[in-house]
Amino acid sequence: MPERIHLSRAHVTTVEEELVLEAMRSGWVAPLGPMVDRFENEVAERVGVEHALALSSGTAALHLALLHVGAGPGRVVVLPSMTFAATANAVRYTGAEPVFVDSLADDANVDPQLLLDAVDQLIAEGSDIAAVVSVDLFGRSADNALLETELARRDLPLIEDAAEALGAHRSGRAAGAFGLAAALSFNGNKIMTTSGGGMLLSNDTALIERARYLSTQARQPAAWYEHTETGYNYRLSNILAAIGVGQLLRLDEMIARRREIRQRYADTLGTIDGVRLLGRGGDPSDAQDNCWLTCIVLDPQQHTASVDDIVADLSARGIEARHLWKPMHLQPLFAQARMFDNGVSQDLFRSGITLPSGSELDDAQIDRVVGAVQAHLTGVRR
């Protein structure tokens, strides 16, 4: 069998190797150092925010942002149901109650009007909302400009989960630049990686200073180890930051390759009746996306193929594909959580497939994926 094709594998070159070697030879083999400082400054400049804090994960960034706005027991955080569990888990870490909102059919991002209606209903019912979290799915920014404006009118903070969207932009602003704070992820499968890591972004100096303090075990400025409250071990190491510096140098190159891959899928699978590319049917097009992952959605009226069967078939052919995120309100962990439902996220989960999209993939590998999907759909199509 030919080499397995992965969904989104880390794409690392000699650029990153040389920077890691430089970091090691500097002696800063620790959670602090010049590569951490450089990485924070360069990401902040890229996104267009004043401050960045390099952390162990995007989840840690969300957790610290939510703590800053006072999320905790007796309070509510409103967030999309269609997301990776990390977004909702960060809410649970604080003890706050997650309340979920459904998606837009075109790109799976949260339905902004449904979210605002949910917020207004919760306020009318007397709920104490600590924050609203938006999520930029699959490398495409949600309508954060609208949410930012409307939530400010309601005196509510917006926190942007931009874990999947570094390099994307919308309304003239980069993903990660909206709201009070934003979280990035550098997990191994993201548009760029530090092998594991994340970053908290904000223009709020006090927020970043407080998060920096909490992320280093809340150590007080004393000559000995002095602690007055619970802290967290959330900092990113100097070695991992060196990988991030190298990846950031290559970010535009990697986005360009993922864009080529998406276009290849559009030119082949996107021309099949009853198959659409997620996010390509509306306005704006994917020209502003970082094209992290390309997803197709099947029309159940035209295709009897189940997503389960297609994913299993591709796996048997040595190709990794996955369902779209299973909505949080369908997860057993959050079965009791409140949901403002329009049915879209559930339909997308049942009919959507995420295809291999990594920037290290060559054209022949993408053609293998296309051929396998075409063969399956042709075999079971009505």
Active site residues: 190
User: At 306, phi and psi to the nearest 5?
Assistant: -90, 150
Q: Which long-range contacts (CB under 8 A, 24 or more apart) does 306-315 make?
A: 307/350, 307/351, 307/352, 307/353, 309/376, 309/380, 310/353, 310/373, 310/376, 310/377, 311/353, 313/372, 313/376, 314/369, 314/372, 314/373, 314/376
What would you report as the CA-atom Rg of the chain, rounded to the nearest whole angstrom?
Answer: 21
What b-and-e string marks burial along 333-363, b requiring 16 or more CB atoms within 10 Å of the CB? ebeebbbbeeebbbebbbbbbbbbbbbebee
The answer to whether the CB of 220 falls within 8 A of the CB of 40 is: no
Cα separation, 238 vs 23, in Å, equals 7
224 to each of 12, 219, 330, 355, how far by Cα in Å?
40, 9, 48, 52
Cα separation, 243 vs 223, in Å, equals 32
Token pair for residue 114?
């449904």
What b-and-e string marks burial along 84-103, b requiring 16 or more CB atoms within 10 Å of the CB? bebbbbbbbbbebbbbbbbb
Beta bridge partners of 99: 78, 338
Cα separation, 125 vs 138, in Å, equals 33
Beta bridge partners of 101: 80, 340
By CB atoms closer than 10 A (0-12, 13-18, 19+), residue 8 is buried
* Largest distance between two CA atoms of the chain: 74
Cα 270–chain centre separation: 24
Beta bridge partners of 100: 79, 339
